[in-house]
């Protein structure tokens, strides 16, 4: 076991890294963060911030020398970087697991090989692959195989011609074309798996998106208990087949009452932010625990929860003279009973940028949702979730 006051390393300095730093500090560890952005949210609160790129080997050497174990908050860390660090120090999750999750083709092939339900898809390396694509894949969604997030690098396409145009727009980048499913809803499972192969999942969340970005997560999900447990079971099987150690998130589509795996994230996940306030252990504490070889924490929720993301859009107030940039009225949120606000310390709000979130807790799931929806409108998110 790696125990305090050891130093832990974190690749990536976004909000997920920041919550990891806070959880590790709470347990008595020190944390060094590596991120090229000098203002990164996690770097600001770390014991040391190495302002360097993910392939800066001098900085990686320093990180490996200074840290007892290293994790990542960012699935696009080059697998070579994780492999290199693993020569000197404990790295969790492994490069092999991360490289499957960071490429949609590798991810879908992995799921299919292990008999897990996925949407029909085809890998697209060239226009010819789209001309030959089966008609059942239309209407479909063309997605870049790497580096897509929050709905970026995706296009809904009705025909092979439209798909070719979108492929050209993505500059011939390797893509997957998958069938567009009729979603009844979306759910996700966050779990942690330790070095002995034991895993514990958090309660299944129900998620809704706005413009491709997570908007609201509800826990418990308004799905049957059977569906929620089946999602946890499938996520557990994925973690096991990946030989995964760490916190893992799995996103699912619900289609005609059945689960289809959408994608995995080899790190804590936005839809697991509710665990910070509603569970005995958070997804970030589990990340620390699995990294250090501590026993897994208890994942029970003590409350129902409704989480709402706060994007940079609410910093822009539209008025007769155009858009005005101002700080949202946080006092309104603090007045709501059971509401916990988290702001990520980002210096400038941009449209679509994740700036913070809040979670409303209540014994009654309907009440938590109702209070959260009213607070969401009060802070300026006006369209229906
Ligand atoms: P990202 O990496 O941006 O999260 P996803 O593949 O999860 O990419 O897609 C973002 C959202 O787009 C999903 O949460 C879902 O709402 C919608 N979506 C993605 N793929 C499909 C699909 N095959 N059918 C229907 N909706 C989809
Ligand atoms: Mg997604």
Residue 249 has pLDDT above 90, yes or no: yes
CA 229, 234, 238, 244: dihedral to nearest 10 degrees? 10
Least confident residue range of 28-42, 92-106, 175-189, 308-322: 308-322
* CATH fold label, 120-179: Dna Ligase; domain 1 (3.30.1490)
Domain ranges of the chain: 7-91, 120-179, 185-378
From the CA of 276, how far away is ligand 1's center (Å)? 25
Does the beta carbon of 210 sit less than 6 angstroms from any atom of ligand 1? Answer: no
**pLDDT tens digits, one per residue of 272-312:** 999 999 999 999 999 999 999 999 999 999 999 999 999 99
Pocket test for ligand 1, best of 107, 137, 262, 271 (most atoms within 8 A of CB): 262
Question: What is the rounded average pLDDT of the residues 350-379?
Answer: 97
Peptide bond into 47 cis (omega under 30): no
Work out the pLDDT band at 149, boundaries 50, 70, 90. confident
Match 């209540």 to its residue by tokens: 362
From the CA of 123, how far away is ligand 2's center (Å)? 18
**pLDDT tens digits, one per residue of 192-217:** 999 999 999 999 999 999 988 999 99
Q: Which atom of ligand 1 is nearest to the CA of 251?
A: 7
From the CA of 47, how far away is ligand 2's center (Å)? 31
Q: Are 218 and 306 in contact (CB under 8 A)?
A: yes
Question: What is the rounded average pLDDT of the residues 248-272?
Answer: 97
From the CA of 151, how far away is ligand 1's center (Å)? 7
Q: Which of 282, 347, 350 is nearest to 310 (CA)?
A: 350
- Strand 354-362 relative to strand 199-201, pairing: unpaired
Residue 155 region by backbone torsions, left for phi larger than 0, else alpha for psi between -120 and 50, else beta: beta
Give the architecture-level CATH label for domain 7-91.
Answer: 3-Layer(aba) Sandwich (3.40)
Residue nearest to atom 13 of ligand 1 (CA): 212
What pLDDT is attached to residue 318?
A: 82
Ligand closest to the CA atom of residue 138? 1
Q: Which residues are 246's β-sheet partners? A: 193
- The CATH number of the structural domain formed by 185-378 is 3.30.470.20
Residue 384 or residue 99, greater confidence: 99
From the CA of 149, how far away is ligand 2's center (Å)? 7
From the CA of 296, how far away is ligand 1's center (Å)? 30
Does the beta carbon of 180 sit less than 6 angstroms from any atom of ligand 1? Answer: yes
What pLDDT is attached to residue 130?
A: 97
- Residue 120: is it exposed, middle or buried by C-beta count within 10 angstroms (0-12/13-18/19+)? middle
What pLDDT is attached to residue 148?
A: 86
Pocket test for ligand 1, best of 211, 252, 253, 264 (most atoms within 8 A of CB): 253
- Residue 182: is it exposed, middle or buried by C-beta count within 10 angstroms (0-12/13-18/19+)? exposed
What pLDDT is attached to residue 6?
A: 98
Token pair in block for residue 301: 């929720």
CA distance 337 to 189: 27
CA distances from 297 to 56, 294, 333 (A): 34, 9, 30
Pocket test for ligand 1, best of 147, 148, 151 (most atoms within 8 A of CB): 151
Does the beta carbon of 352 sit less than 6 angstroms from any atom of ligand 1? Answer: no
Match 């200074």 to its residue by tokens: 66
CA distance 332 to 118: 42
Instruction: Give 362's Cβ-side CA count (13 Å radius).
Output: 16
From the CA of 139, how far away is ligand 1's center (Å)? 14
What pLDDT is attached to residue 331?
A: 97
């Amino acid at each position: 076991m790696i125990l305090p006051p050891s130093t832990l390393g974190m690749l990536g300095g976004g909000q997920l890294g920041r919550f990891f730093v806070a959880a590790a500090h709470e347990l008595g560890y020190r944390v060094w963060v590596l991120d090229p952005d000098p203002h990164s949210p996690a770097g600001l609160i770390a014991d040391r911030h190495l302002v360097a790129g993910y392939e800066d080997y001098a900085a990686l050497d320093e990180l490996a020398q200074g840290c007892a174990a290293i994790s990542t908050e960012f699935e696009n860390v080059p697998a070579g970087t994780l492999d290199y660090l693993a020569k000197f120090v404990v790295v969790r999750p492994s490069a092999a697991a991360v490289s499957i999750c960071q490429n949609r083709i590798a991810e879908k092939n992995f799921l299919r090989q292990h008999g897990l339900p996925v949407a029909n898809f085809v890998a697209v390396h060239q226009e010819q692959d789209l001309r030959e694509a089966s008609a059942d894949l239309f209407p479909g969604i063309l997605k870049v195989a790497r580096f897509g997030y929050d709905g970026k690098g995706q296009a809904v396409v009705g025909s092979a011609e439209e798909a070719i145009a979108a492929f050209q727009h993505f500059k011939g980048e390797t893509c997957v074309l998958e069938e567009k499913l009729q979603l009844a809803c979306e759910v996700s499972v966050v779990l942690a798996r330790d070095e002995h192969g034991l895993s514990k999942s958090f309660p299944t969340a129900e998620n809704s998106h706005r413009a491709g970005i997570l908007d609201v997560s509800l826990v418990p999900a308004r799905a049957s208990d059977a569906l929620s447990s089946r999602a946890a079971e499938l996520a557990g099987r994925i973690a096991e087949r990946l030989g995964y150690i760490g916190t893992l998130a799995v996103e699912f589509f619900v289609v005609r009452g059945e689960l289809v795996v959408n994608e995995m994230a080899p790190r804590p996940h936005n839809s697991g932010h509710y665990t910070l306030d509603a569970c005995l252990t958070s997804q970030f504490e589990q990340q620390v625990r699995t990294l250090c070889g501590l026993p897994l924490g208890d994942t029970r929720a003590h409350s129902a929860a409704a989480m709402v993301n706060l994007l940079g859009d609410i910093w822009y107030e539209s008025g007769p003279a155009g858009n005005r940039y101002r700080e949202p009225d946080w006092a309104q949120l603090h007045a709501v009973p059971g509401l916990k606000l988290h702001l990520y310390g980002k210096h400038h709000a941009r449209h679509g940028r994740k700036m913070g979130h809040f979670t409303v807790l209540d014994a009654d799931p309907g009440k938590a949702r109702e209070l959260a929806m009213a607070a969401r409108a009060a802070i300026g998110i006006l369209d229906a979730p």
